[in-house]
Amino acid sequence: MEPVEPQTEVEVTARESQPEFGVPSTAAPDRRERRKKPRTWETPPAPVPPPRLDDYKGIVGAADIDELKFLARDLTGKTLKMVNSTAVGGGVAEMLNQLVPLLNELEVKTHWDVITGGNDFFEVTKAFHNALQGSEYNLTPQARDVFLMHNELNRQRMQFTEDVVVIHDPQPAALIRARDESPRRWIWRCHIDLSNPNPEVWGFLRPFIEQYDAAIFSAQSFSRQLEIPQYLFYPCIDPLSEKNKDLDDSFVQQVCDEFGVDRSRPIVTQVSRFDRAKDPVGVIQAFKQARKYVDCQLVMAGGGASDDPEGAAVLKEVMSAAGDDRDIIILDLPPWCALQINALQRASTIVVQKSIREGFGLTVTEALWKGKPTIAGAVGGIPNQIIHKLTGALVHSVDGCAYQIRYLLTHPEFARQLGQNGHEHVKENFLMTTNVRRWLLLCRILLAGGAK
């Protein structure tokens, strides 16, 4: 097996010896030869302006966009403030970057504020974040003080004059102290899984949360019993983003050529950072089992190995599990490779997301949107997306995953139907336009006195 060369940010690993059972690929060019070619994806692309509402008409239909306009009509002149802890990086900032312009276009004037804090604050909130998702943590009086002090500084710095204030995640949760006697509505949007929180941290935060008018969770199973109404907002993808927009087949081919993926043979792909929660080694084991009976290649496209020691360790384990199998293509990609990820997903025959722990699992949403038959672990928010045998296949083990790979590769008509259903499921429930609809609905319901 070739070692990973850490001097490159993008590492393409193709195997040079023969696989144990599979048919050797003749289409994949030699790795060193490929490296002589210019690789445009090694630098970040220029940012793309956010889409306009009408840009979605071709995807969801004019009637759905008209419905958003009707829903927004009663909110004209109302104002909304979103508050989170970061302007760039992470799923929340990415979502707000798309949502806020769309709400403004619908004349629901929406401001986005970001809280500030020192390293001490963000160390505490990172620990809270992990603790709320089940990690061990000893909540000290000092950590409480740091959390409360920075929330108080932000409360003093910020103004809350809007009709609806939405606080995202635990970091700014104590801003609810700014609540006064006005009819202003306060919403707490929780993006993390609270199903098994550290009792000390949750016990500390809960009194703040219960002062809100409503809480929003990303999946039913992530919620807690609370004294306030709780709503379900599934996370969403933007069908016009680099990660999800339609691509010319010539571009898909170009990406496959660059990465040594042979489109004349079935392609099984898992896209996820190199993290044990995604069970990348289990995917390789399942692939090797399946390939005893069906010809296929495996693409493991991920990231996080260059800036995360644990990610690098997991990548090593993955390389070791792959051995000298040249049908396993391992790609450690930088975060700006959205177009390349998109192309790899579109080139795939089957997409796998064999997670053993998961948040909502937006990589599953992306695969379903592209009409790909998808096999995924039945954890986190994945069962909301995959209805077993109707919109994909849920699995609980390596053996189950191997079987589903074999089954779907040998039953293409069934696989096609799963992919088609999966696409429609995303269109109905997990697109940015649906997210806009939910925000409009919740604002209407709350401002009409429908909660608390």
DSSP three-state, residue 99: helix
Choose between 103 and 267: whose C-beta lies nearer to other proteins: 103
What is the helix (H) or strand (E) element at residue 71, kind and residue range?
helix 62-73
What is the Cα–Cα distance from 377 to 357, expressed in whole angstroms?
Answer: 8
Closest distance of CB 206 from other proteins, Å = 16
- Closest to other proteins by CB, 326 or 427: 427
Task: Residue 147: name the closest of 117, 112, 188 by CA.
Answer: 117
**Sheet with 267-271: strands ordered across:** 11-13, 328-332, 297-302, 267-271, 350-353, 374-377, 393-395
Window of 8-16, 123-131, 247-255, 437-445 that interacts with other proteins by CB under 8 A: 437-445
Phi-psi region of 85 (alpha: psi -120 to 50; beta: other; left: phi over 0): alpha
232 vs 313, which CB is nearer to other proteins?
Answer: 232
Q: Which stretch binds other proteins (CB under 8 A): 85-93, 138-146, 200-208, 222-230?
A: 222-230
Q: Is 67 in the site for other proteins (CB under 8 A)?
A: yes
Query: Which one, of 392, 228, 227, 331, lies nearest residue 14 by Cα?
Result: 331
Closer of 25 and 421 to other proteins (Cβ):
421
Of 191, 223, 226, 231, residue with least CA distance to 209: 226
225 binds other proteins, rule: CB under 8 A: yes
Stretch that binds other proteins, among 24-32, 248-256, 305-313, 442-450 (CB under 8 A): 442-450
User: Does residue number 429 form part of the binding site for other proteins (CB under 8 A)?
Assistant: yes
Binding residues with other proteins: total (CB under 8 A): 38
* Site map 249..288 versus other proteins, x via CB under 8 A: ----------------------------------------
Question: Are the beta carbons of 393 and 352 closer than 8 angstroms?
Answer: no
**Residue 61, interface with other proteins (CB under 8 A)?**
yes
* The one among 29, 134, 323, 450 contacting other proteins by CB under 8 A: 450
**232 sits near other proteins (criterion: CB under 8 A):** yes
**Of 8, 17, 142, 220, which lies in the binding site for other proteins, with binding defined by CB under 8 A?**
220
Per CB under 8 A, does 66 bind other proteins?
yes
Positions in 188-217 near other proteins (CB under 8 A): 217
Element holding 339 (H helix, E strand): helix 338-347
Site string for other proteins, 369-398 (x = CB under 8 A): ---------x----x---xxxxx-------
Distance from the Cα of residue 367 to its chain's centroid: 11
Binder of other proteins out of 63, 77, 89, 156 (CB under 8 A)? 63
* Interaction of residue 156 with other proteins, rule CB under 8 A: no
CA-wise closest residue to 305 among 3, 45, 10, 15: 10
Q: What's the burial of 312, exposed, middle or buried (CB within 10 Å: 0-12/13-18/19+)?
A: middle
By DSSP bridging, strand 185-189 and strand 164-168 are parallel
304 or 380, CB closer to other proteins?
A: 380
Amino acid identity, residue 181?
E
Name which of 312 and 387 has its Cβ closer to other proteins: 387
Nearer to other proteins, 110 or 433 (CB): 433
Looking at the Cβ atoms of 316 and 388, the one nearer to other proteins is 388
Minimum Å gap between C-beta 230 and other proteins is 4
Chain position carrying tokens 């898909």: 252
Give whichever of 179 and 423 is closer to other proteins, judged by the CB atom: 423
Q: Least distance to other proteins from the beta carbon of 352, Å? A: 20
Closest separation between CB of residue 58 and other proteins, Å?
15
* Closest to other proteins by CB, 98 or 391: 391
Buried b (16+ CB within 10 A) or exposed e, 135-167: eebebeeebeebbeebbeebbeebebebbbbbb
What is the closest distance, in whole angstroms, from the C-beta atom of residue 243 to other proteins in the complex? 23
Query: Is 29 near other proteins (CB under 8 A)?
Result: no
Q: Which residues contact 429 (CB under 8 A, 6 or more apart)?
A: 234
Using CB under 8 A as the binding rule, whether residue 223 contacts other proteins is answered as yes
Closest CA to 160 of 177, 138, 143, 146: 177
215 CB neighbour count, 10 Å cutoff: 20
- Least spacing, CB of residue 414 vs other proteins, in Å: 12
Give the residue with the Cβ less far from other proteins, 263 or 452.
Answer: 452
Strands annotated E in 39-131: 79-84, 109-114
**Bridge-partner residues for 111, per DSSP?**
81
Residues that bind other proteins (CB under 8 A): 61-64, 66-67, 70-71, 217, 220-221, 223, 225, 229-232, 378, 383, 387-391, 420-421, 424-425, 428-429, 437-438, 440-442, 444-445, 450
